[in-house]
Amino acid sequence: MKPRATADQTADQSGSTGVGPRVTVDEVSKVVGDVTLLAPVSLVVEPGQCVVVRGRNGIGKTTLLKIIAGLLEPTTGSVLIGDRRADERDQAIRGRVAALLGAPAAYRDLTLADHLTLIDATWGRDAQSCEERVDAALHQVGIGDLGGRFPHELSSGQGQLFRLALTLFRPADLLILDEPEQRLDTQKRRALAAILSERRDAGATLLVASHDPLLTDAIADEVLDLGWGEGNPEGAEGHADEVDDDPAGSP
């Protein structure tokens, strides 16, 4: 069992706000027309635990994370974040969930540091110490020397590190990350694993879709396999396994 934070922790400069919520996913599915995007799945992520979701391309990982983040209405079932229904329009949910699901909005005329400064101001943090926090956040993900660049001046891997910085910087005790390792080299994936482990050990709840065994081994308390077979995902059963139970055929 990993060390867990106490309930009275307050926000620090990493964006952590203390003990995360329990996430309860009950028979959630998504169907559009006659296409099943996600077959019914149930899952409980305990506060301060990390569940890695995996499965073949197109099985529904991103769809599941979008539903849990409250960005997408499920066709069946329900999701609770703590005791509240997952809905990104709910201020209480917005205040505790940071999600990296696709590319967040970036502005051509703002530098990387400007973007983080904007987030800092949005969340009402102390303006005097903002520069220090921004600098630390960029350094944390390995792009400390790129604060003066514009988003379109980054390589694809640097762009991913910037998106991670944006996501990790805002206050949150529930992190929902869709393939955060994409485009990163091995060294950066190891660094990412260390950052996410630190957030989890500080009490945050994590839900991460990933194809990366390195990241999964480093951060997962449990693994949810949505399935590996070809064809329509109809009938796939999701269940969380202890991380050591690596099923045959999985990467």
**C-beta of 6 vs 156, nearer to ligand ATP:** 156
Element holding 198 (H helix, E strand): helix 186-201
Residue 130, classed as helix, strand or coil, is: helix
Q: Do residues 162 and 151 touch, judged by C-beta distance below 8 A?
A: yes
Nearer to ligand ATP, 5 or 51 (CB): 51
Q: Which is nearer to ligand ATP, 54 or 200 (CB)?
A: 54
Closest distance between ligand ATP and the C-beta of residue 230, in Å? 11
**What's the alpha-carbon Rg for the chain, to the nearest Å?**
18
Closest residue by Cα to residue 73 from 94, 89, 57, 91 = 89
In the bound complex, what is the minimum distance in angstroms from residue 53's beta carbon to ligand ATP? 8
- For residue 218, the minimal CB distance to ligand ATP (Å) is 20
Nearest to 67 by CA among 22, 19, 27, 21: 27
The least distance separating ligand ATP from the CB of residue 211, rounded to whole angstroms, comes to 7
Per CB under 6 A, residues contacting ligand ATP are 32, 35, 37, 55, 57-63
* Length of the chain as a residue count: 251
Nearest residue (CB) to ligand ATP, 5 versus 86: 86
